A = this chain, B = another copy of it.
């Protein structure tokens, strides 16, 4: 039985003692606050999108086109938000999506995120490009569930090493990001000529990896520029194709999920290749400007492969209502990104917890007030579409 909605009561009761929430409870308001409080470089990196930002806007507009039609007089006293995703039981259909270089917004970076996620038993998907290592984050997360995200590097030995380390550190599922064989054109970062990696942030996994170090002669020297240029050379792999998926299976025996699927043909191809799940995502609009809103593609992908595989959704989730819509359109669960990064930047571990609790409380209430008690009951019938 869900108690996520209790957060609402907790806030109101705290108010009697003049204790207010430290952060806005409408998560769409975090971005403006982050702009005021974070450094321009950090804010630009997290909030910025590809090109003119048209894809990021499209992500949000796609949600606006779908509308919930609440149902009345159903017993919604007991809700159970838990879902089974790839063999694991989640307390709610929400994961923390992979976001790299989080120490640019807070010194505790991914460690704080891992602690917050673990406290709520929400899976954190750790980015290859994290500020802390696979092992450090695993330790911070303790008993909490964790997944590992792979930016497939040019050097297969590094890829294999990453997967081995993740497995050893207790990461249970693998998310492979397909949409970033190279970085998109991001004016917020370009105008500041700011790329965290080149300043040594977000390379923790690489600089601690035997396979990577082998490529630069065994160790990162006092002058780290050689190592950083090597990192830049191997980070992305634009040559990877569908034929290379076997490599993943070879080095990973848990569930494998492909992130960045937007076209039904790609979704079908992933399933045909034996992949365990797909994440419909456009990387929050950070890669291709002028692209279609991610949610606009979700119904087609679900129609194409929903019966054969697990479909997750990412890109644009900002509220419990957004989760309801993605689930009603066929996603098994969603990944949230920027909101928790803002929470981290504004209030560290507590900020991440705040974001998760708000999101899940609003999801719980939105479901209840729509007449729904379990994610599985959310079907397209609860929506009006475009």
Contacts and interface: CB of A to CB of B under 8 A. Distances in A.
Interface string A242-266: 1011000000000000101111011
A183 to B, nearest CB: 7
Interface string A186-198: 0101111111001
Interface string A1-37: 0000100110111111001110011101100000000
A188 to B, nearest CB: 8
Interface in A20-79: 20-21, 24-26, 28-29, 51-52, 54, 58, 63-64, 66-77
A21 B190 contact: yes
B242 A73 contact: yes
A51 B185 contact: no
A325 interface: yes
A287 to B, nearest CB: 5
Given A26-B51, A365-B185, A72 B178 contact: yes
B68 A291 contact: yes
Interface stretch (A140-148, A165-173, A232-240, A302-310): A232-240
A382 to B, nearest CB: 9
A369 B182 contact: yes
Contact of A193 (B14, B189, B245): B14
Given A26-B51, A320-B51, A72 B266 contact: yes
A251 B28 CA distance: 45
Number of this chain's copies in the assembly equals 4
Interface residues of A, number: 95
A293 interface: yes
Contacts of A361: 185
A290 B63 contact: yes
Contacts of A181: 76, 368-369
Nearest to A177: B72
27 contacts: A11-B190, A12-B198, A16-B199, A19-B193, A21-B190, A24-B187, A24-B191, A26-B51, A28-B52, A51-B321, A66-B290, A67-B296, A68-B288, A68-B290, A69-B263, A70-B262, A70-B291, A71-B266, A72-B258, A73-B242, A76-B238, A181-B369, A182-B368, A288-B321, A288-B366, A289-B319, A289-B366
